[in-house]
Amino acid sequence: MTRQLNLLPYKVNQELRIDYKAFVSIDSKDFKRVVLEINAHSVFVNLSDSEATFSNDNKKIIFTKEERKCIIGGIKKGKEYEVLITLHPLVFFLDLSYQAQRLWLFIQKDFSTILVFPSGLWTQFWVYFSP
């Protein structure tokens, strides 16, 4: 089965590099939970040095480093980041979560966000959200 996601034209700089300093990684099963339980067009992601929170007005799901539910890096103690990601169409993001073991979310210096779904040794799906 093939799915096509219609995108607005976006000119990507060929030298786009991920800033690996601020990131969170969660298991794809947990990301499926976020997509299905929050079930919204957009989701706020709040990152601190100890937890990642995915939320909207009706639901909040928290993953903590202490419980070993997420990997967080590059965030200084006391510092927090909040970004908004779009999970629409939901089926597209569910399909990606079935093809990957983990989701990596990187927050860039300009507050753009990149979701990376590794799908094998040589394949990755990238989803870019502009600031």
* pLDDT of amino acid 110: 80
As a whole number of angstroms, the distance between CA 20 and CA 73 comes to: 8
Q: Quick one: CA dihedral 90, 108, 54, 103, positive or negative?
A: positive
Residue 12 pLDDT more than 50? yes
Q: Token pair 């779904």 is at which residue?
A: 117
pLDDT band per the 50, 70, 90 thresholds, residue 14: very low
Question: Does residue 128 contact residue 107 with C-beta atoms inside 8 Å?
Answer: no
Per-domain boundaries in the chain: 22-129
pLDDT digits (tens, 9 = 90+) for 61-80: 999 999 999 999 999 999 99
Give the span between the Cα atoms of 105 and 25, in whole angstroms: 6
**What is the pTM for the complete model shown?**
0.84
Mean pLDDT over 7-16 rounds to: 52
**Domain 22-129 of CATH type 1.20.1050.140:** no
- Decide if 26 contacts 63 (C-beta within 8 A): yes
- Name which of 1-5, 60-64, 86-90 the model is least confident about: 1-5
CA distance 24 to 115: 10
